Amino acid sequence: MHKINLILLGPPGAGKGTQADRISEIYGIPHISTGDIFRENLKKGSELGLRAKEYMDRGELVPDEVVIGIVHDRLAEPDCERGFVLDGFPRTVAQADALKEMLAGTGRGIDHVLNIRVPDEVVVERLTARRTCRACGAIYHLVFNPPKEEGRCDSCGGELYVRDDDREETVRARLEEYEAKTQPLIAYYRGEGLLRDIEGDADMEAVLANIRKVLG
């Protein structure tokens, strides 16, 4: 299978993690979520995890130099030779520039930036009823994608919990941070001819179908 390098862009709750899991399965490429990496580090109690949590709990972005170093190391792992789907990175122009530099030596840049579009009201509805598996990170929704057994992960049996940053006031702060710092990447990647708009306010299968149309 040929190599494919993807970025998923979109506000909190757009469905980046949900779609990235599916893309990863279908195309056989690793799903790299910076948010998941921070949450895993927090679970282990590492210094990185504790440092990131301060920002995450306020709905703010973690400083660029921290995030860039992590992604740089992750992309150097051998499984990324098949390609990758980046979820939640880049989120600032500085991160996008750094990514371009990281890929410059590899002979293969980004193929598509999938910009998942959903209105703010939908974001709040999705995040306030999201449940996340503490063990494997699988994503559920009490109404739109409920687990078979309440409070338990279908795939690993792990405990489902509510992310600390999914409280409504934190969600609002995350949306503001998105508008101020991440939205400029839409113009950035449109300028590079890489942006593909995806209608995200539809059921999960319909969103996946829209993505597959773009990827071919």
Query: Is position 130 annotated as part of the catalytic site?
Result: yes
Residue number with CB closer to ligand AP5 (2 or 44): 44
* By the rule CB under 6 A, 145 interacts with ligand AP5: yes
For residue 113, give the H/E element and its range: strand 112-117
Contact 133/157 with Cβ under 8 angstroms? Answer: no
CA dihedral for 175, 49, 145, 79, sign (positive or negative): positive
Percentages helix, strand, coil for the chain, rounded to the nearest 5? 50, 15, 30
Query: Is position 16 annotated as part of the catalytic site?
Result: yes
* By the rule CB under 6 A, 80 interacts with ligand AP5: no
Q: Give least dist CB 16 to Mg ion, A.
A: 5
Contacts 24+ apart (CB under 8 A), 177-180: 177/59, 177/60, 177/61, 178/11, 178/12
Residue number with CB closer to Zn ion (59 or 137): 137
Q: Give least dist CB 2 to ligand AP5, A.
A: 26
Residue number with CB closer to ligand AP5 (83 or 141): 141
Other C-beta atoms closer than 10 Å to the C-beta of 151 total 11
Which positions touch ligand AP5 (CB under 6 A)?
10, 12-18, 33-35, 38, 55-56, 59-62, 67, 88-89, 91, 95, 126-127, 130, 139-141, 144-145, 165, 174, 203-204, 207
Active-site residue list: 16, 91, 130, 163, 174
